[in-house]
Structure 1
């Protein structure tokens, strides 16, 4: 959990981008969004859910959240809590648009599998069959198979794009730039969550279909499932119910900027959607690919997406666009999403015909665990305990900055490259090069060897940092007490 907490705000592509008339249906008024349909929940269960959600939102400092609960494949509780905009007092509703992040990867995988069903893409084929010029700096990119991109076993490095471009050529330029990257491991010989790999998948969809990634998704996934509020990039027009994103930093809730990066749409940089639309999407998946009016994938293809393709831990696995594992004694299919200012969590229990999702205008583990807690209530289980708060009050410690000299230098972090620690203007700073552009993290001192990360966008906010010297003179960087990197 420590590693995931450290990269939570940066592990996925961040920001929002382009919206198109093709991908942006007209938005309905919020008054039409109340969804309590067949099999509605009892008043007692609704009260339990409402109480639980309210407590966890307060605990996690979440301004606004929308919830989706499906039982027997039908939406039974879809509603908003809190505020979509603290400045205006606008409430969060089931129509409020939130940038959901990497739960988009399941949609990209679905689109790719549609092309597989049509015989236009072969999962066993190399990427170069569809993108002949594709290559990496080490010359190994040509051996990557399509299925390895889907399962994060390609070796493509785990890079994150914070801000980029918004024109039509953005995605292809991004993939061409991967010729400067080297693989983290030979294709098929490891697992690493990779936004870069899903950017390549998006370009395959674009090349094979002959239309932009965004238009293909709109035409073959979003519109067929009647997801009337879903866009790529923030919707145009002032009447759209767009939730303001927030970050929690230095003990305060602050508005998050809107960061643009069309080249990472397939990885989830800026898919804006509502709880209402998510209920339609999850309902179709529980119905084995059958939407209300049309089918978007065959049961056989969906079953393949939900088969373990790579182990991610002793108990977890990754399929194609979905994580797989056990929750509360049931087999679960799930994925979280996180961008600067918002996030989401989708959980399906196919055998129980049950699904739960959350969309929040503040990212982090709290809204993800909240979704798990609601799922537990629906399954008659005890919700997991709330994640501990990582906030420490502002430090009153007066540091001896000369002590920091034994910490400065370049540290090699597994997966995430090199981090430079240095002193500037009386502060201990770190360059976080995992993101593009690189970010500067401040290490706030609470003691000579006790620091907390602070960042204006909330990236890795609140993570505890310390250092450990080995007998051989090697210095190790510790995060939350666990070794995470060594000084070069």
Structure 2
């Protein structure tokens, strides 16, 4: 029996059915239309957007490392063939052979050759390049293989006839590939006959609305999608699909995805512990599209993940938050990262793990780590004075003689907000004189703003003080603040995708979200780049956590600062025991953290005393008084939703 059924282009849906707790996953994500992920217990690699030569190169590379292809999909864009492939490394691998870019005659020849040697095809991908059909195939030789039949280059009518014939004999389809050549649809199929076959459903010739209906119908009955093959007829997407009533783990299916959308979905699912088990490339109106299936490889309870989603959704609704992204590590291992909402409301672009946000004052811990690295290396001391003839910056800034006590300010004073003035409580210098660069602004402040107190005697939170610390780093190292931090702090921590923000929307960086002000605030009316050392970084939550676990004192990931240096950095001052050096200290529990807040942005970075690290970023700032506190509490709620955290590491 066969019915027309299809997915609407770019419509996506997900089905969660039970949970599994098998593979332990690690990842290294590659850019430019390709993804690679490696699992510790069942290693795997996923790639897409590969030319024939690139696929052969990746094939040679990974098979030399003990991997084998378990699924390959060929497709064409502009008369050029491309490939998506899944490699896997497992024990007790059967003998196998893989071929690609075979003409129909070549495929038949290889088929005859290898089946005569006891192999059988387990997956076939047909695809049209120009007006010719090609095939990629994987053969396996295994003991006790079931009876099987394979057919290719079948028209729709021929496929229906073969389907009726073999299902009447007790066979069922286990692999399906639909493809077009000269606007004619063809099918390649593998049937198997097994004694204990699960309940199954197969559909082909699928329109969008029909597939939507059938998909919903069968997953509601407990089936799961195991294969989906997209193709194009008359400029519209079509699908062939197989469902089975088998397995109990959670799974996710997506289709109609562009290359970037597939990459985003790959990362969204990966950072929740899913791995791809099926990737199908196809072409609609000259553009590559992807359909994929992921299965859970972790121990998350689906109800707990749903509860997290509901909690986040309520927070976003309460505070009109367009987009949110968070990451959580436990004992140095990244265990969860999720994204919600929109990176850009005007385009509908969804937030993905690749998206970077302004972090505002979460920049201060970054600057503090850089200062402490220089202290550890003996390049400066916390007691070093900053201004004046004996100071690190000498008399470079402002006009001497300086105002009272300015030459008494030390590095430690500024790290702990004990500089004696220039606070953000009133007339913050960093938000004045927008036409001035950093040098001009520091000179202006020294010449025009008198300290309120003697340095070291009173706590007053100072953005300007951390701006000065950025110049201290530049003076001591001979590098720009940004370059020094990237080279000596971020890169040794495995972070390569952070940078200083631009000021305007036109200066928006690659993969940076758009910011949305509330209550008349303008996120693009500030000198954010001038705030570099106190509020200028943009980052992904995953990268903030990647840095955070390198200064957590656990050494699960080797710390980039020594234990005594970390102890000094995290020690509160006698004036304010709840602020250390660039880090806040919780009054209860001994957690180290910092928040960040600018028009259009709010951020938190937290290291807890019981081994958690997390970061959360949003692309707006509510005017409601409870907003910041509720964002902080949101992450504690998320942590408390999970009963058992997985043991894998997604870094």
Q: TM-score, normalised by structure 1?
A: 0.64
In the alignment, is the contact (CA less than 8 A) between 1:140 and 1:186 conserved in 2? yes
Which of 334, 337, 343 pairs up with 2:596?
Answer: 337
42-51 or 180-189, larger mean C-alpha shift:
42-51
Correspondence for 2:55? none
Correspondence for 2:584? 323
Q: Measure the CA separation in 2 of the matches of 1:344 and 1:39.
A: 28
Q: Measure the CA separation in 2 of the matches of 1:173 and 1:185.
A: 24
TM-aligned CA distance change 1:256 to 1:188, over 3 Å: closer
* Structure 1 residue 55 corresponds to structure 2 residue 317: no
| 1:154 positional shift | 1.1
| 1:319 positional shift | 0.1
Correspondence for 1:131? 393
2:616 counterpart SS class: strand
Q: Measure the CA separation in 1 of the matches of 2:630 and 2:571.
A: 24
Correspondence for 1:283? 549
Q: Measure the CA separation in 1 of the matches of 2:32 and 2:449.
A: 41
Correspondence for 1:44? 303
TM-aligned CA distance change 1:40 to 1:223, over 3 Å: farther
| 1:92 positional shift | 1.3
Alignment of 1:81-160 (within 5 A): 81-128=340-387, 129-133=391-395, 138-158=403-423, 159-160=428-429
Computed over aligned residues only, the root mean square deviation of the Cα atoms, in angstroms, reads: 3.1
| 1:261 positional shift | 4.2
Q: Measure the CA separation in 2 of the matches of 1:26 and 1:111.
A: 29
Q: Measure the CA separation in 2 of the matches of 1:183 and 1:336.
A: 26
State the number of aligned residues.
Answer: 343
Correspondence for 1:241? 511
The list of structure 1 runs, each at least 4 consecutive aligned residues, that deviate by more than 6 angstroms after superposition, is: 25-29, 163-167, 235-239
* Structure 1 residue 172 corresponds to structure 2 residue 439: yes
In the alignment, is the contact (CA less than 8 A) between 2:304 and 2:641 conserved in 1? no
* Structure 1 residue 224 corresponds to structure 2 residue 492: yes
Q: Measure the CA separation in 1 of the matches of 2:583 and 2:314.
A: 29
The answer for unaligned runs of 5 or more in structure 2 is: 1-29, 34-259, 274-296, 643-651
In the alignment, is the contact (CA less than 8 A) between 1:310 and 1:319 conserved in 2? no
Q: Which structure has more strand as a fraction of its residues? A: 2
Q: Measure the CA separation in 1 of the matches of 2:445 and 2:404.
A: 11
1:126 counterpart SS class: coil
| 1:72 positional shift | 2.4
In the alignment, is the contact (CA less than 8 A) between 1:26 and 1:228 conserved in 2? no
TM-aligned CA distance change 1:353 to 1:177, over 3 Å: same
Alignment of 1:286-365 (within 5 A): 286=552, 288=554, 295-312=559-576, 317-326=578-587, 330-349=589-608, 351-364=609-622
The answer for unaligned runs of 5 or more in structure 1 is: 1-24, 382-488
1:186 counterpart SS class: coil
Higher relative contact order (CA 8 A, sep 6+): 1
Which of 515, 533, 536 pairs up with 1:266?
Answer: 533
Alignment of 1:426-445 (within 5 A): none
Q: Measure the CA separation in 2 of the matches of 1:263 and 1:214.
A: 11
2:549 counterpart SS class: helix
Structure of higher CA gyration radius: 2
TM-aligned CA distance change 1:145 to 1:111, over 3 Å: same
Q: TM-score, normalised by structure 2?
A: 0.48
TM-aligned CA distance change 1:166 to 1:355, over 3 Å: farther
In the alignment, is the contact (CA less than 8 A) between 2:331 and 2:554 conserved in 1? no
